[in-house]
Amino acid sequence: MSVRASEKAVRFTESVIREMTRLAQLHGAVNLSQGFPDFAAPAELKDAARRAIASGPRTRRRQPGSVTKTSIIPAAAGSVL
């Protein structure tokens, strides 16, 4: 008896996390795609992160549907966002 995947299942692609894991292993890199490393971050990196956070607001490219979210969430949070 042979096992076949459904028509929908054969269209599945590799997840971003799985791809990043595979690439990290291939290149001997630290894989940060699945959580935190098991070692302390260098002080220079933490200092750079603090400076970046303190320097002002950060933005990301808006995704489809984000206009609705960016109007509903601040209203629900009392406009503190």
Higher pLDDT, 3 or 34: 3
Burial 62-80 (b: 16+ CB within 10 A, else e): eeeeeeeeeeeeeeeeeee
Of 75 and 81, the structure prediction assigns the larger pLDDT to 75
Q: What are the sequence ranges of the domains in the chain?
A: 8-55
Predicted local confidence at residue 30, as pLDDT: 81
Q: How far apart are CA 39 and CA 30, in angstroms?
A: 11
Can you give the pLDDT at residue 81? 43
Per-residue pLDDT band at 26 (split at 50, 70, 90): very high
